[in-house]
């Protein structure tokens, strides 16, 4: 009755039913019970209140997620609207300021770098510029004085030692002048109020001005150091050259002509001496491994003249053995643009631990290298 | 299981929809008292959910649900209806003792059976388990399960068709 008869057993069972009416009747009764059970299964459904009760643990988080989603969408919507409004305002301001400046009288100058041009030597070269009228004439006419506000700006070329490309500095003089068109009074323009604003304008080039400015502040340096401190162990007996290749590469970003920061990677030999006490013996170890180290540094430069820059560099980093600190005092000479020579004295300190004891190793060396600026 | 553990509503709802009918029928037909059966039904699924969220790995979901329902129904019967020991198998009621002509519906007929006969019959007829699977679930010999189901069918037939004799 669990419908697990093999074909042979099923054949036997059907044969029995075929020859015995009583057994057929019992079989039909059992099938009736089976049918009643199936009808019962079909007619019975799980009440909806039970569905709600069982699935309730999942409905609250869904509501919270929906609420969070709606609040997130609202915040995003606000952000989008604000961004669009900001872009419209910025674009409007950008366009109108450009139009405004084009109507300003501009006096252009071509003076020597580093000097501002006197006003009477300025010559207008920009197509939108006009020369301010000079007060001339011997007219006897008198007219009522008029007050006119003149926005005058002067273009002054300035070359900075750090930035190799020349920068144009625009100086805006706001002058409220009392002008008379008669020589009789012979009054000169008298500035009443002067407001000066300076904005830096870069010459247009192949790259975007911001990217170009960023790259100009980066330099790369390759250096080699000749250590003066002697190691403890006699390297010649071990067949090791005393002078190991102590080299490093630096890359820095100059914030201005004085301050710069960057990263350094290199290798240097440190004379390490450490000991341990075991039983009644003291074990003294001496070695001079060539350690690879990396770190960051800060450099302070003091330009004293064009092409010669003393500097001090403070370095902090680490190696496999322990932290490394360094101090360098040197001078940078720039014989040709973008290329400099470095000479410095370099002191380094390595801290390392052995058997719960701290040891230190210092090295003093003469350093030389080349510096390439973009 | 992983989706349910992560709190995915659709996964649990899908599993619940697959097994709710079988568990509900088992609980209601086993106990015969609908409010208690519904409480046990709810406890079975909430306990299942809690076990999955705690990291329990359940491979045979249907078997786990029915075992949980079986244990809870037995506890309810033990605490509510049958204070006597349940390890003895009582003699089936005499079919001949029924009043002539009394016909019961299926639910009443099932409640007439003791739970030792009702349970394997429910697992076989309602849940579709084979004798061997029922024996493993109830930890009984297969012959005992076969005998009890046979007797239960006999009694059901007598309750549903009292005019007909029993072979």
pLDDT in tens, B39-51: 889 888 888 888 8
Answer yes or no: do B21 and A1 touch at CB < 8 A.
no
* Residue A311 contacts residue A331 (beta carbons within 8 Å): yes
Compute the average pLDDT of residues A300-320: 90
For residue A2, give how far its alpha carbon lies from the nearest alpha carbon of chain B (Å). 7
Distances from the Cα of A48 to the Cαs of A70, A333, B20, in angstroms?
A: 29, 88, 11
**Fold match between domain B2-80 and domain B95-160:** no
Span B85-129, pLDDT tens digits: 434 444 444 444 444 344 557 777 888 888 888 888 888 888 888
Read off the pLDDT band of A71 (50, 70, 90): very low
Answer yes or no: do B9 and A55 touch at CB < 8 A.
yes
Residue A92 has pLDDT above 50, yes or no: yes
Query: Are A241 and A366 in a shared domain?
Result: yes
Residue A178 has pLDDT above 60, yes or no: no
Read off the pLDDT band of A220 (50, 70, 90): very high
Compute the average pLDDT of residues A232-258: 71
Query: Which residue of B28, B49, B130 is in closest CB contact with A2?
Result: B130
* Residue B28 contacts residue B76 (beta carbons within 8 Å): no
Query: Are A38 and A112 in a shared domain?
Result: no
Residue A179 has pLDDT above 50, yes or no: no
Span B67-90, pLDDT tens digits: 888 888 888 877 765 434 434 444
Q: What is the mean pLDDT of chain B?
A: 77
User: In the 3-class helix/strand/coil scheme, how is B124-159 assigned residue by residue?
Assistant: HHCCCCCHHHHHHHHCCCHHHHHHHHHHHHHHHHHH
- Domain of residue A360: give its range: 217-373
The number of folded domains in chain A is 3
Residue A157 has pLDDT above 70, yes or no: no
Distance CA A29, CA B163 (A): 11
Query: Are A225 and A368 in a shared domain?
Result: yes
Residue A314 has pLDDT above 90, yes or no: yes
Structural domain boundaries in chain B: 2-80, 95-160
Is A212 inside any structural domain? Answer: no
Residue A183 has pLDDT above 50, yes or no: no
Pairs from A355-364 (Cβ < 8 Å, separation ≥ 24) = A355/A274, A355/A276, A357/A274, A359/A272, A359/A273, A359/A274, A361/A270, A361/A271, A361/A272, A361/A273, A362/A229, A363/A227, A363/A229, A363/A268, A363/A269, A363/A270, A363/A271, A364/A227, A364/A228, A364/A229
Answer yes or no: do A4 and B106 touch at CB < 8 A.
no
Tell me which of B129, B157, B159, B162 to substitute to probe the interface with A (most A C-beta atoms closer than 10 Å).
B157
Using a CB-CB distance cutoff of 8 angstroms, which residues of chain B are in contact with residue A34? 125
Q: What's the confidence (pLDDT) of residue A356?
A: 77
Residue finishing a domain among A185, A205, A225: A205
Tell me which of A21, A22, A43, A46 to substitute to probe the interface with B (most B C-beta atoms closer than 10 Å).
A46
Distance CA A149, CA A132 (A): 12
Q: What's the confidence (pLDDT) of residue A164?
A: 40
State the fold for domain B95-160. Arc Repressor Mutant, subunit A (1.10.10)
Q: Is residue A16 within 8 angstroms of chain B, CB to CB?
A: no
Is A65 inside any structural domain? Answer: no
Q: Is residue A34 within 8 angstroms of chain B, CB to CB?
A: yes
Read off the pLDDT band of A4 (50, 70, 90): low
Percent of chain B having pLDDT more than 90?
2
Query: Are A264 and A119 in a shared domain?
Result: no
Q: What b/e readout covers B14-50, taking b as 16+ CB neighbours within 10 angstroms?
A: ebbeebbebbbbbbbbbbbbeebbbbbbbebbeebbe
What CATH class is the domain B2-80?
mainly alpha
Is A2 inside any structural domain? Answer: no
Q: What's the confidence (pLDDT) of residue A324?
A: 94
Instruction: Kindly identify which residue of chain A lies nearest to residue B27, measuring between CA atoms.
Output: A46
Is A88 inside any structural domain? Answer: no
Query: Are A247 and A112 in a shared domain?
Result: no
Instruction: Kindly identify which residue of chain A lies nearest to residue B44, measuring between CA atoms.
Output: A54
Q: What's the confidence (pLDDT) of residue A167?
A: 42
User: Biggest alpha carbon distance in chain B?
Assistant: 59
Q: What's the confidence (pLDDT) of residue B87?
A: 40
Residue finishing a domain among A173, A205, A237: A205
Query: Are A189 and A267 in a shared domain?
Result: no
Read off the pLDDT band of A266 (50, 70, 90): very high
Answer yes or no: do A37 and B167 touch at CB < 8 A.
no
Tell me which of A27, A35, A40, A48 to substitute to probe the interface with B (most B C-beta atoms closer than 10 Å).
A40
Name the residue with higher pLDDT: A155 or A113: A155
Compute the average pLDDT of residues A39-67: 69
* Highest mean pLDDT pick, A105-114, A206-215, B23-32: B23-32
Answer yes or no: do B153 and A33 touch at CB < 8 A.
yes
Name the residue with higher pLDDT: A30 or A350: A350
Answer yes or no: do B38 and A45 touch at CB < 8 A.
no
Read off the pLDDT band of A60 (50, 70, 90): very low
Provide the token pair at A286: 């001496």
Using a CB-CB distance cutoff of 8 angstroms, which residues of chain B are in contact with residue A45? 21
Phi, psi angle pair for B88, to nearest 5°? -100, 140
Residue B145 has pLDDT above 80, yes or no: yes
Q: What is the mean pLDDT of chain A?
A: 68
Query: Are A125 and A226 in a shared domain?
Result: no
* Residue A342 contacts residue A368 (beta carbons within 8 Å): yes
Answer yes or no: do B20 and A36 touch at CB < 8 A.
no
DSSP state string for A204-231: P-SS-HHHHHHHHTEEEEEEEEEE-SPP
Residue A25 has pLDDT above 70, yes or no: yes
Is A77 inside any structural domain? Answer: no
Q: What's the confidence (pLDDT) of residue A133?
A: 36
Query: Which residue of A53, A59, A61 is in closest CB contact with B42?
Result: A53
Compute the average pLDDT of residues A164-171: 43
């Amino acid at each position: 009755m669990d419908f697990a008869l093999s074909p042979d057993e099923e054949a036997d069972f059907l044969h029995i039913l075929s020859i015995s009416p009583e057994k057929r009747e019992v079989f039909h009764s059992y099938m009736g019970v089976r049918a009643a059970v199936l009808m019962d299964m079909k007619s019975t459904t799980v009440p909806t209140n039970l569905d709600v009760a069982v699935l309730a643990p999942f409905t609250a988080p869904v509501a919270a997620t929906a609420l969070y989603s709606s609040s997130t969408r609202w915040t995003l919507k606000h952000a989008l609207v604000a961004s669009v409004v900001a872009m419209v305002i910025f674009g409007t301001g950008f366009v109108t300021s450009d139009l405004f400046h084009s109507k300003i009288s501009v006096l252009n100058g071509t003076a020597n770098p580093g000097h501002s041009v006197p006003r009477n030597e300025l010559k207008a070269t920009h197509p939108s510029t006009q020369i301010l009228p000079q007060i001339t004439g011997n007219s006897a006419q008198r007219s009522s004085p008029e007050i006119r506000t003149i926005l005058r700006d002067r273009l002054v070329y300035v070359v900075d030692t750090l930035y190799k490309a020349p920068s144009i500095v625009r100086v805006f003089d706001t002058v409220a002048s009392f002008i008379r068109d008669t020589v009789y009074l012979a009054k000169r323009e008298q500035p009443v109020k002067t407001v000066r604003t300076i904005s830096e304008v870069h010459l247009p080039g192949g790259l975007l001005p911001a990217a170009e400015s960023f790259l100009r502040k980066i330099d790369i340096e390759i250096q080699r150091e000749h250590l003066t401190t002697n190691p403890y162990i006699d390297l010649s007996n071990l067949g090791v050259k005393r002078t190991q290749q102590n080299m490093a590469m630096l890359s820095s970003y100059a914030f201005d002509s004085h301050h710069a920061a960057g990263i350094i990677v290199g290798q240097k030999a440190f004379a390490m001496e450490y000991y341990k006490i075991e039983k009644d013996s003291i074990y003294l170890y001496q070695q001079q491994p060539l350690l690879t180290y990396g770190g960051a540094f800060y450099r302070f430069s003091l330009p004293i003249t064009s092409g010669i820059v003393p500097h001090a560099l403070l370095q902090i980093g680490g190696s496999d053995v322990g932290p490394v600190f360094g101090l360098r005092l040197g001078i940078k000479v720039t014989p040709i643009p973008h290329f400099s020579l470095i000479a410095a004295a370099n002191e380094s300190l390595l801290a390392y631990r052995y058997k719960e004891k701290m040891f230190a190793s210092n090295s003093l060396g003469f350093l030389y290298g080349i510096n390439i600026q973009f | 299981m992983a989706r349910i553990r992560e709190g995915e509503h659709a996964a649990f709802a899908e599993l619940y929809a697959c097994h709710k009918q079988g568990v509900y029928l088992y609980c209601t037909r086993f106990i015969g008292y609908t409010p208690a059966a519904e409480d046990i039904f709810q406890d079975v699924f909430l306990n299942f959910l809690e076990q999955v969220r705690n990291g329990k790995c359940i491979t045979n979901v249907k078997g786990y649900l029915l075992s949980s329902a079986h244990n809870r129904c037995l506890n309810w019967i033990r605490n509510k209806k049958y204070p006597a020991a349940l390890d003895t198998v009582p003699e089936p009621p005499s079919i001949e003792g029924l009043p002539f002509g009394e016909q019961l519906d299926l639910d009443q007929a099932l409640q007439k059976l003791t739970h030792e006969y009702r349970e394997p019959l429910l697992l076989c007829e309602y849940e579709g388990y084979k004798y061997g699977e029922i024996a493993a679930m109830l930890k009984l010999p297969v012959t005992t399960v076969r005998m009890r189901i046979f007797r239960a069918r006999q009694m059901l037939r007598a309750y549903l068709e009292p005019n007909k004799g029993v072979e």
